[in-house]
Amino acid sequence: MGEKQIVRTSKDGSPTFALLRGEDSLSHPLGNLGLRDIDMKVYPTFGCGHDCKFCMTDIRYKPNEANTITYLKRFKKSLNRYYRFGGRKVLITGGEPTKAMERILGMLEEAQRYELDLIVLYTNGSRLLETYEYRGKTKKIVEHLYDAGLRHINISVHHYDPKKRQRLLNSDEGVCDIVEVAREVNKRDEMCIRLNCTLMRDYIGDVRGVIDYIGFAKRIGVTDVYFRDLFHLENRALSIRFAEMGKVEFTDNQRINFDGLIRDIKRVPNMQFVKTMSRHVGQGKTILFNYNGVQVWFGTLEIGTENANRFTYFAFMPDGNIYYNMNGPEFQVKS
């Protein structure tokens, strides 16, 4: 038998690592790194009713999906491993994750067994007010999520103008009625929304657009907004080899000058700089401001230059396997 790693707990409660023979665990780089500062990004499905022109998922590697029973069984094992090695943040994303409600609700139930710092769902919000039957109970999807313990929802709303949002979706499926969704979520104790807006030159891409968007968020009762830069696609032989090239072209054409925008934002009256943080093991950065009672985040990320021997994020993909990053099948963790 080869050497395997297990997690032990030190006197202060933090994880330590040891090499033993024959123990069930993950591969060697995990023991060297630990996962305290690594997000677990969970992909229930890559399916989505929209076909956004800038979709980052459609630029990355997408393995085939496992059946739901297999997927949930592997999630249970993977979450346990993630937690044992210090991980505390679970991000459920996609695709559109609410297309796979059996998986989401099963995962949320399992996650309640752990003392996690954060469980958050990333969604386009279009199905949150629809009804869904689960274990004999029919109610709105947002109610199922709340009852399963979810308290944080990040909703992609890429413009305050519904017509411009519809244009970006590139599909006949309607946009999220974010006003009604926000009203429904705000009824529930401790449940909160963050609006996610992708920065694009012809949409929200300058100071005026950002300020108008923040005003829109505040009017509908949302006080947490994240503006995301389009991915910087470096080392393209790796980063876009599985991409839909039309979306790469759109991304390149719409990418803004992120650092220039941040310089301009800092000059806005009442825009209070809070801090800058590293994002995904130094692959990017997040800058936090407070503006008239609204938390305002700006994030940028580079892909294609990840360290192949470290976790950029603990990616649990729809095939039920763990990956160091989303650049290709060779980054699957062998365990």
Q: What is the mean pLDDT of residues 193-218?
A: 98
Please state the φ and ψ torsions of residue 41, each to the nearest 5 degrees: -95, 115
pLDDT interval class at 1 (50, 70, 90): very low
Q: How far is CA 211 from CA 103, 203, 221, 271, 294, in A?
A: 37, 13, 16, 10, 11
pLDDT (average), residues 282-300: 97
Please provide the distance, in angstroms rounded to a whole number, between the alpha carbons at the two ends of the chain: 13
Q: Is 288 left (phi over 0), alpha (psi -120 to 50) or beta?
A: beta
pLDDT at 183: 96
Please report the pLDDT score of residue 308 as a whole number.
Answer: 87
State pLDDT tens for residues 73-126: 999 999 999 999 999 999 999 999 999 999 999 999 999 999 999 999 999 999
C-alpha distances (whole Å) from 113 to each of 7, 55, 225 are: 19, 33, 29
User: pTM for the whole thing?
Assistant: 0.89
What CA–CA distance (Å, rounded) separates 236 from 57? 16
Q: What does the block give as tokens for 73? A: 């069984």
pLDDT digits (tens, 9 = 90+) for 125-175: 999 999 999 999 999 999 999 999 999 999 999 999 999 999 998 877 778
pLDDT score, position 271: 98
Residue 216 pLDDT > 90 = yes
Fold for the domain defined by 35-331: TIM Barrel (3.20.20)
Domain edges within the chain: 1-34, 35-331
Residue 105 phi, psi dihedral angles, 5° rounding: -65, -35
pLDDT digits (tens, 9 = 90+) for 256-268: 999 999 999 999 9
Decide: 169 and 156 in contact? Cβ < 8 Å: no
Q: At residue 2, does pLDDT exceed 70?
A: no
Q: What is the pLDDT of residue 172?
A: 75
Kindly report whether the peptide bond that precedes residue 95 is cis, defined as omega within 30 degrees of 0.
yes
Of 244-253, 296-305, 306-315, minimum mean pLDDT range: 306-315
Share of the chain above pLDDT 70, in %: 90
Between the alpha carbon of residue 132 and those of residues 49, 97, 155, 258, the distances in Å are 17, 14, 19, 40
